[in-house]
Amino acid sequence: MMSSPDQARRASLLIFIVTLVDQIGWGMVIPILPTYARTFGGSAVVVGWLLASYSIAQLLFAPAIGRLSDRKGRKPLLLACMGGSAVAAAATGAASLLTDGAFALGVLFLARALDGVTGGNTALAMSYASDVSPPERRAQSLGLIGAAIGLGYTIGPALGGIIAHYTDAATPFYVAAGLALSNALVMWWLLPESLSPEQRAEATLQHQEGHITSLGNWFRHPQLGSLLIINFLFIVAASCYQMMLPLYTNLRFGLGERDNSYLFAFLGLTMTVVQGGCIRPLVHRFGERTIFAVGIGLLTVTLAVAPFADTVTGLVWLCGGMGVGTALANPTLLALLTNRAAEDERGEVLGVAASVASLGRILAPAWCGYAMKHVSVASPFVTGASVAALAAAVFLAFVAVKTTASARS
């Protein structure tokens, strides 16, 4: 409910800070989780499914959370999601108190599933940013959310690595729980609702009249279907390296929690610089479609070359290229989605996009964990490069070409 540009800018700043703190907590634990799970006897396959369990739950619940936020507002749903994240992080840390490794792994799976059920934080933050931004500034606003995610990736892994090094691997999870609770209190006190009562009433009326689009129909949507397919492929490609990188570096180069946390911090810093400082001028000059094409192309090339890196330094530089490609592609693709969506379905569309992304995050670690054990330790990069190339091909065939043809007609 923004009544002036100044209020909209303040709300954008607040949602940036909220997202940053949320991602710091998330970034603290993700690089640690694979090796943390291995201390309870989890194999590469188990770790893959553990990472996928979050996305399985998000796949089932993200569209409903997006629809509910259209009707009830973004703020209440953000508060609920933060509470779920706090409980899940605390439960993950408490698993270290158990003496039975199998039981501890079961607790980890339940905690990750709970975090996935309430894991709509990022999609809701993006919906909020879209609500308070006009279409011509939407890529910049989504890029700002991306910058918060990248900065969280920078601070979180480094902080988590330091805490784990001087305490133990469970402590970062407790700290993440405290951050989530603190974030919820700040949101409750300071963050205004972004949807007006009229907008929520319209979304409620649409719901009561049964205007709910199934996931299959979204994929057949003439404006959004191809973009959702591209989003799925892009997330699969990015997840192959983002979720399996700690395990790969541990198996290939012997890196532990602290070194992997520093590597993720470098990735986060790279993404922050690109999304926070480069997206706006690049999109203003070249447009979302061109920048996405460059980003997905760079991601494809760096993933394809990564298996040939025989030193940590070489892999770090290639990971930087992956980070740049991801940072260019993600906000521009989401901007294309939100600009084509109707105003009263924007939350649902981003919820569907989050659900589709969750499916990608299920398949990527599940396959890569199996392939790393039975095919090749470099399977995440080979798979990621192949899927990224497919995403680029679908984009060129169904988005870029059709858009050009429409402009000429």
Per-residue HEC secondary structure of 268-324 comes to: HHHHHHHHHHHHHHHHHHHCHHHHHHHHHHHHHHHHHHHHHCCCHHHHHHHHHHHHH
Residue 9 predicted with pLDDT over 60: yes
Neighbour count for residue 390 (Cβ, 10 Å): 18
Tokens at 79, concatenated: 């508060």
Which DSSP letter does residue 311 get? Answer: S
Contact 71, 346 (CB under 8 A): no
Average of pLDDT values for 184-191?
A: 87
Q: What pLDDT is attached to residue 74?
A: 86
Residue 320 predicted with pLDDT over 90: yes
- Rounded-to-5 percentages of helix, strand, coil across the chain: 85, 0, 15
Q: What pLDDT is attached to residue 347?
A: 67
Residue 271 predicted with pLDDT over 80: yes
- CA 322 – CA 48 distance, rounded (Å): 21
Average of pLDDT values for 126-148?
A: 76
Q: How many domains does the chain have?
A: 1
Average of pLDDT values for 384-393?
A: 96
In this structure, what CATH number is given to the domain that contains residue 375?
1.20.1250.20
Q: What pLDDT is attached to residue 208?
A: 59
Exposed/middle/buried for residue 401 (C-beta within 10 Å: 0-12, 13-18, 19+): exposed
Contact 35, 163 (CB under 8 A): no
Q: What pLDDT is attached to residue 400?
A: 64
More confident residue, 165 or 241: 241
Average of pLDDT values for 43-55?
A: 80
**pLDDT by residue (tens digit) across 63-116?**
778 778 888 888 898 898 889 989 999 999 999 999 898 999 999 999 988 988
* Termini Cα distance of the chain: 39
The mean-pLDDT minimum among 10-14, 250-254, 314-318 falls in 10-14
Residue 346 predicted with pLDDT over 80: no
- CA 242 – CA 235 distance, rounded (Å): 10
* pTM (global) more than 0.85: no
- CA 355 – CA 117 distance, rounded (Å): 11
Contact 353, 123 (CB under 8 A): yes
Which structural domain range is residue 368 located in?
5-408
- Among the ranges 16-30, 212-226, 338-352, which has the highest mean pLDDT value? 16-30
Exposed/middle/buried for residue 388 (C-beta within 10 Å: 0-12, 13-18, 19+): buried
- CA 122 – CA 108 distance, rounded (Å): 22
- CA 135 – CA 156 distance, rounded (Å): 31
- Helix 5-29, helix 138-166: angle, nearest 10: 30
